[in-house]
Amino acid sequence: MKYASIEIMDVKAALELVGGDGDILKEVIGVFLEQDYPEQHKLLKDGIDKHNAQTVKVAAHSIKGAVSSFGSEALTTTALRLEEMGRNNDLMGAAAVLKELEQEVIQFTDIFAQYS
């Protein structure tokens, strides 16, 4: 499913990850949205606020890994940008990239809700 011509969620790719079982996919994405993302988002925000590049790198990497499994090109790319900012110890502009990530997660959540 595309949102403003960017791949937010590739349902086919996500289903392949779970052997075509839609119920498992719903559960996995639900855990990500309800538990994993909020925890990693808090770490990202804290890392940016405290200028802790290592925290930003690790939290962004965790998000990137999860969303790439769901076929979310947009979220994967944005999380990678944050990860690279952390890796390069350059958090200038990271708050703005975090806002992009937050908006993409909202779009992803909306699409997932329609799929569910």
Q: 6: exposed, middle or buried (C-beta count within 10 Å: 0-12, 13-18, 19+)?
A: middle
What's the pLDDT at 72? 87
Is pLDDT larger for residue 108 or for residue 59?
A: 59
Average pLDDT, rounded, for the chain: 89
CB 9 within 8 A of CB 29: no
Q: How many CB atoms lie within 10 A of CB 101?
A: 24
Domain boundaries, the chain: 2-115
The DSSP code sequence of 37-82 is HHHHHHHHHHHHHTT-HHHHHHHHHHHHHHHHHTT-HHHHHHHHHH
Select from 1.20.120.160, 3.30.830.10, 1.10.3720.10, 2.60.120.10 the CATH code of 2-115: 1.20.120.160
33-53: per-residue pLDDT in tens?
A: 999 999 999 999 999 999 999
- Measured between alpha carbons, how far is 116 from 108 in angstroms, rounded to an integer? 12
